[in-house]
């Protein structure tokens, strides 16, 4: 603890002295955060965890074997001689000593877990240290501290955190080996832009505000354009309808709806006439002798047939319209059910 306080005091003293002559540029990194975001480190850590899991299983198997021998000795103790009991106990002690030695070999301070961790992880740590040194030299940093080390940092402003830049540099170096010269040139330009944003956070914040305003403005223009297009379509539809009605009046034709109304009125008038005739016919039958009914002429039969055909045509068209409406309704219901099923499948997958 005293050593840590002394280091902090010396750093603060040296920073004060340098600040009197020039501006001091200080940054910090979080080594644990960097290593967790480096793919090579994650892969090495997973390999090490798999080996450790295998060693633990071997230790558990040996411990179960020793426990089984102990249990057997406990049950057979009354049947064994003193010499056999001592022999079994020596065997158990030997197996336990062997198990402890194996545990130390795998998980001890100088065991395989520690040594292989150094073998797998140390090259990655060295790569991180090299990247940090290159960054410090390129950006003229006076100090770069490690937030995850034993050195106590009571407060650190996020804008001085260089961890993401180190991760980006490590990722670039791994990708650069697989790129062509043209792709490397484009990547260099992109890296320069990213570094400029990192070095000028205020400019990046201002640019983000401008981009947000531009996106809001574009959204408003698109909404107005859509509204204007909708109004234009409504106007065109209304204009087309008026032209069709005007053309129908000019040609002396009427719509199907008006035709159906007129036909219904004719049928009502005929019904009334038939009622009147029936009423007058009953009074005439009382006062006069029955007269033989006149047979309809060919023209009357043709007219009656035309009326019946027209009624049949109107009824068929009405049934077709109802069938089309029912089919459209079923199609909408099927589509809603399909969308509902898809939403449920997406929820289950999530």
Determine the 3-state secondary structure of 45 from DSSP: helix
59 close to 177: Cβ distance less than 8 angstroms: no
| CA 285 to chain CA mean position, Å | 89
The pLDDT-based confidence of 18 (bands split at 50, 70, 90) is very low
- Residues 139-153: tens digit of each pLDDT: 888 888 888 776 667
Burial class (CB in 10 A: 0-12, 13-18, 19+), 108: middle
Which of 7-16, 170-179, 266-275 tops mean pLDDT? Answer: 170-179
The pLDDT-based confidence of 302 (bands split at 50, 70, 90) is confident
pLDDT of amino acid 66: 92
Burial code of 43-54, b = ≥16 C-beta within 10 A, e = fewer?
ebbeebeebbee
- Residues 196-240: tens digit of each pLDDT: 555 556 666 677 788 888 888 888 888 888 888 888 888 888 888
pLDDT of amino acid 151: 66
Q: Comparing 24-28, 72-76, 176-180, which segment has the lowest mean pLDDT?
A: 176-180
The pLDDT-based confidence of 10 (bands split at 50, 70, 90) is low
263 close to 314: Cβ distance less than 8 angstroms: yes
Determine the 3-state secondary structure of 143 from DSSP: strand
The pLDDT-based confidence of 187 (bands split at 50, 70, 90) is low
pLDDT of amino acid 19: 45
Does pLDDT of 291 surpass 60?
A: no
pLDDT of amino acid 285: 46
The pLDDT-based confidence of 121 (bands split at 50, 70, 90) is confident
Burial class (CB in 10 A: 0-12, 13-18, 19+), 170: buried
């Amino acid at each position: 603890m005293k050593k840590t306080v002394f280091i902090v005091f010396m750093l603060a003293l040296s920073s004060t002295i340098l600040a009197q002559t020039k501006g001091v540029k200080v940054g910090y990194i979080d080594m644990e955060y960097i290593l967790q975001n480096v793919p090579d480190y994650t892969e090495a850590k997973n390999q090490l965890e798999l080996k450790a899991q295998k060693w633990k299983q071997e230790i558990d198997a040996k411990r179960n074997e020793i426990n089984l021998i102990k249990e057997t000795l406990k049950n057979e103790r009354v049947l064994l001689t003193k010499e056999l009991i001592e022999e079994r106990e020596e065997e158990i002690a030997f197996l336990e000593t062997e198990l402890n030695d194996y545990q130390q070999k795998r998980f001890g301070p100088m065991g395989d877990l520690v040594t292989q961790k150094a073998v797998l992880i140390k090259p990655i740590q060295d790569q991180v240290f090299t990247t940090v040194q290159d960054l410090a030299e390129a950006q003229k940093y006076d100090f770069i501290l490690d937030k995850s080390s034993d050195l106590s940092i009571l407060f650190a402003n996020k804008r001085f955190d260089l961890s993401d830049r180190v991760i980006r540099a490590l990722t670039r170096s791994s990708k650069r080996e697989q790129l062509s010269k043209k792709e490397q040139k484009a990547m260099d330009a992109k890296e320069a832009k990213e570094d400029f944003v990192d070095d000028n956070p205020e400019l990046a914040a201002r640019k983000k505000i401008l981009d947000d305003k531009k996106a809001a403005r574009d959204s408003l223009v698109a909404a107005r354009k859509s509204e204007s297009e909708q109004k234009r379509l409504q106007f065109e539809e209304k204009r087309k309808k008026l032209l069709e009605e005007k053309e129908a009046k000019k040609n002396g034709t009427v719509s199907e709806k008006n035709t159906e109304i007129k036909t219904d009125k004719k049928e009502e008038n005929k019904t009334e006439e038939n009622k009147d005739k029936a009423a007058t016919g009953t009074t005439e039958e009382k006062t006069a002798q029955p007269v033989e009914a006149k047979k309809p002429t060919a023209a009357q039969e043709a007219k009656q047939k035309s009326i019946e055909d027209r009624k049949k045509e109107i009824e068929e068209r009405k049934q077709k319209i109802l069938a089309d409406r029912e089919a459209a309704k079923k199609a909408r219901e099927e589509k809603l059910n399909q969308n509902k099923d898809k939403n449920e499948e997406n929820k289950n997958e999530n």
